[in-house]
Structure 1
Amino acid sequence: MFSLALQPSFYSAWASGIATGLGLFAVVGAQSAFILRQGLMRAHLTSILVVCALIDAVFIFASVWGLQAVATSMPWLTDGILWFGVAFLLWYALQSAHRALTSQSGLAAARHAVPSRRAAVLAATGFTLLNPHFWLDMVVVGSLAHSFADARMGFAAGALTASMTWLVLLGAGARLFAPLFARQKAWRVLDGIIAVVMAGLAFGLAHKGMGI
């Protein structure tokens, strides 16, 4: 494996994996919005980032080893995840809308409202694994990786590099903008935006699930 990593084809595949990964992962979706909010609250951010990175690592390499075949043989699994994802996103959209419409006292109050570390980690896991777009991204990564033949693990490593880069940027960005969220209005605007994003994702998935 070490000798393979020294081959030029490995680095070419790795660079392609980074480019593909950034294109797939660097979007403000459900997981990203959740990470941003937790980062702004300075609540369990490290634990959440570690969990998200581990999940991405496991499934990126699993996709190269055959996740696409599993999804093809069990189409019901994809449908089940889709509708669980719709329900989960709608629930979080309602929670965010409630926060946006309810008076808060800024960052200090938000900290007191933070769930436990266990709840935050479970929520991060849900935003990842109950998101059908996550599974679609993994299938795409697995499909593209096989075009690199023996260097496909290099492609997987590149995709993982992109994932971790995006997670670090989200965490750093949240901490950078935290001082702006000392005001009540900023939190209400953020939660309003998150509610709209989550609801939009949920209705988009439902539309896809019904085949309309």
Structure 2
Amino acid sequence: MVFESYLTGLVVCGGIIVAIGAQNAYVLSQAIRREHHWWSAGLCMTSDILLFTLGMFGVSAALMAMPEALDVLRWLGVGFLGLLAGQAFYRVLKGRASLAAGEARRSTVKGVILTTLAVTLLNPQVYLDTLLLIPAVGAQQSDPATFVAGASSASVLWFGALAWAGSRLAPWLARPAAWRVIDGVIGLMMTAIAIQLAAGGL
């Protein structure tokens, strides 16, 4: 049961993290240009871990006092997952702009940190994810702490992969066709999770 909670956190939050386009596009663009991309990726990881923890245990405490709120959160989560899936499938049809590795003016470490904080903390979707969707799924797990550990692992793995592989695979990752494949996988994952959550929880 503990491993199941960890795996649920890894899969659910992994799909959510990949779906947040602003963070991914910025970290990937920095990796393609090899400009302080580990600073950007590390800050995204740290922000996610803090927000996952605060959202999970803060909302879980409230749910203990109001158990009936769990159903409300569950259906709001289903709706939000459906929205994420719809957006992902729309991006598959529309496509994303390419991420060029052109010779632009180089960014400073301070500039990269401030921009990363902006694309992370000024994105309303981040708060919907951490305060609504993640607690809705995590509160149903047998071990919420392990669920958060799985969610945190997803963030570390994903942003670490973007920072490490982004510069090595720049010619392939910069193509809009690559993001069509990624968005298609995101859409399928979000749809499957929404169906399972609607059926009674993961």
Normalising TM by the smaller chain, what interval? 0.5 to 0.7
**Match in the other structure for 1:141:** 134
Q: Out of 110, 114, 131, which is 1:122 matched to? A: 114
Contact 2:5 2:146 in 1 (8 A): yes
**Match in the other structure for 2:167:** 175
Match of 1:26, SS? helix
Does residue 56 in structure 1 map to residue 52 in structure 2? no
Q: Out of 2, 5, 15, which is 2:7 matched to? A: 15
Contact 2:42 2:159 in 1 (8 A): no
Q: CA deviation at 1:28?
A: 6.0
State which structure, 1 or 2, has the greater radius of gyration over its C-alpha atoms. Answer: 1
What is the rounded CA distance, in whole Å, between the counterparts of 1:52 and 1:13 in structure 2? 23
**Match in the other structure for 2:147:** 155
Contact 1:141 1:156 in 2 (8 A): no
Contact 1:34 1:124 in 2 (8 A): yes
Alpha-carbon RMSD across the aligned residues, in angstroms, is: 2.8
What is the rounded CA distance, in whole Å, between the counterparts of 2:135 and 2:118 in structure 1? 22
Q: CA deviation at 1:134?
A: 0.9
Q: Which one-letter code corresponds to 2:39 in the other structure?
A: S
Match of 2:19, SS? coil
Deviations 1:122-153 (A, max 9, x none): 1001101111111111121122111125x101
Q: CA deviation at 1:157?
A: 0.7
Q: Which one-letter code corresponds to 2:133 in the other structure?
A: V
Q: Which runs of 4+ in 1 moved over 2 A?
A: none
Deviations 1:60-116 (A, max 9, x none): 0111121586xxxxxxxxxxxxxxxxxxxxxxxxxxx9xx9xxx9x64x32xx1221
**Match in the other structure for 1:47:** 39
Match of 1:147, SS? coil
Contact 2:141 2:147 in 1 (8 A): yes
Q: CA deviation at 1:44?
A: 0.6
- In structure 1, runs of 5+ residues without a counterpart are 1-8, 70-96, 182-186, 194-212
Q: CA deviation at 1:39?
A: 0.6
- In structure 2, runs of 5+ residues without a counterpart are 63-96, 180-202
Q: For residues 116 and 67 of structure 1, do their structure 2 counterparts lie closer, same or farther at Cα, with a shift above 3 Å needed?
A: farther
Q: For residues 39 and 141 of structure 1, do their structure 2 counterparts lie closer, same or farther at Cα, with a shift above 3 Å needed?
A: same
Identity of aligned residues (%): 24
Q: For residues 126 and 67 of structure 1, do their structure 2 counterparts lie closer, same or farther at Cα, with a shift above 3 Å needed?
A: farther
What is the rounded CA distance, in whole Å, between the counterparts of 2:6 and 2:155 in structure 1? 13
